[in-house]
């Protein structure tokens, strides 16, 4: 797969508070994710995003400032081709330090085993290969923590946009009977299958595609998980409702707290009721009952 690197630079109106710029870059990455960008890194001049070449659309990029709630904000950008190679290989080589979520779950990669004195109920190995979901992000941690607080024994779980498979694996560790996971990105599908093997878990079916794969899946789900950006969630929530068991649970994250009212309104339109809300910094997780 070939990629484009797009280098974004934002400029605020004169007199704007400095902290607003950081929030705008966070919002920009969320909106860019909705048009196909799948990874970002901070650069000296702003933000660099990576998008598969076939999804690169200059007109869609030019429309991004209109999606940000800051009047007078301007965006400039340039792009270049990324060599057809694993452009994330340096991050994968270095890896990440173990992440401990309470006394319940510890997540680490192959390069960084858990300390001998670590005291947790569950351990998970996540070898991230160009996929989102190592447990380092606030949204992933919030959902993982909540999964171990749900009564998942014997439940069927749907993991939408599975990334590395971290939420699918955590669901099985928390007692779920089975999981169906899907992701539109082929890297993520392969990475999820790889991590399932690393952790020696069973009961997870991994599918390639977007929400349309649900038309080929029989039966309903007791729990639906979706750690995706706001725009994709708003589009996909009606499809989630079609496969949610009556009284089932939906955990949504991948968005900012300021987007929570918009998602709650859509959920209420689908007949869901808000059962809980968690925040970590600017990020939010919403729990609904169907």
pLDDT at 3 over 90: no
Residue-wise pLDDT tens digits, 150-160: 999 999 999 99
Residue-wise pLDDT tens digits, 35-93: 888 778 877 778 998 888 888 999 999 999 888 878 888 999 999 988 655 545 544 55
Beta carbons of 111 and 125 less than 8 angstroms apart? no
For residue 23, give the nearest of 289, 180, 225, 256 by alpha carbon.
Answer: 256
Return the pLDDT at 177. Answer: 97
Q: Identify the band that residue 116 occupies on the pLDDT scale cut at 50, 70 and 90.
A: low
H-only helix segments in the chain: 19-34, 58-62, 89-94, 138-147, 166-173, 186-199, 230-242, 260-269
What's the gap between Cα 192 and its chain centre?
A: 13
Residue-wise pLDDT tens digits, 242-254: 999 999 999 999 8
Distance CA 225, CA 241 (A): 12
Beta-strand relationship, 105-108 and 122-125: parallel
Residue-wise pLDDT tens digits, 185-202: 888 898 899 999 999 999
């Amino acid at each position: 797969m070939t990629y484009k690197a797009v280098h974004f630079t934002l400029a605020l109106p004169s007199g704007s508070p400095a902290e607003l710029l950081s929030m705008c870059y966070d919002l920009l990455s969320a909106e860019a994710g909705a048009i196909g960008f799948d990874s970002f890194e901070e650069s000296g001049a702003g933000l660099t995003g990576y998008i598969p070449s076939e999804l690169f659309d200059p007109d869609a990029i030019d429309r991004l400032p209109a999606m940000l709630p800051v009047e007078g904000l301007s965006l400039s950008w340039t792009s270049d081709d990324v060599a057809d190679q694993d452009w994330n290989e340096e991050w994968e080589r270095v890896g990440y330090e173990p992440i401990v979520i309470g006394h319940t779950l510890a997540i680490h990669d192959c390069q960084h085993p858990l300390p001998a004195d670590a005291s947790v109920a569950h351990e998970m190995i996540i070898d991230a290969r160009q996929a989102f979901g190592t447990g380092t992000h606030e949204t992933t941690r919030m959902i993982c923590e909540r999964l171990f607080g749900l009564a998942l024994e014997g439940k069927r779980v749907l993991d939408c946009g599975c990334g590395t498979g971290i939420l699918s694996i955590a669901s099985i560790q928390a007692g779920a009977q089975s999981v169906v996971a899907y992701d539109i990105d082929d890297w993520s599908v392969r990475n999820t299958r790889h991590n399932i093997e690393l952790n020696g878990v069973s009961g997870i079916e991994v599918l390639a595609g977007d929400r349309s794969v649900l038309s080929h899946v029989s039966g309903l789900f007791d729990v639906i998980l979706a750690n995706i950006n706001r725009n994709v969630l708003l589009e996909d929530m009606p499809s989630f409702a079609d496969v949610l068991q009556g009284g089932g649970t939906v955990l949504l994250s991948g968005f900012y707290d300021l987007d929570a009212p918009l998602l709650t309104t859509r959920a209420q339109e689908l007949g869901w009721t808000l059962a809980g809300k968690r925040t970590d910094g600017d990020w939010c997780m919403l729990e609904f009952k169907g």
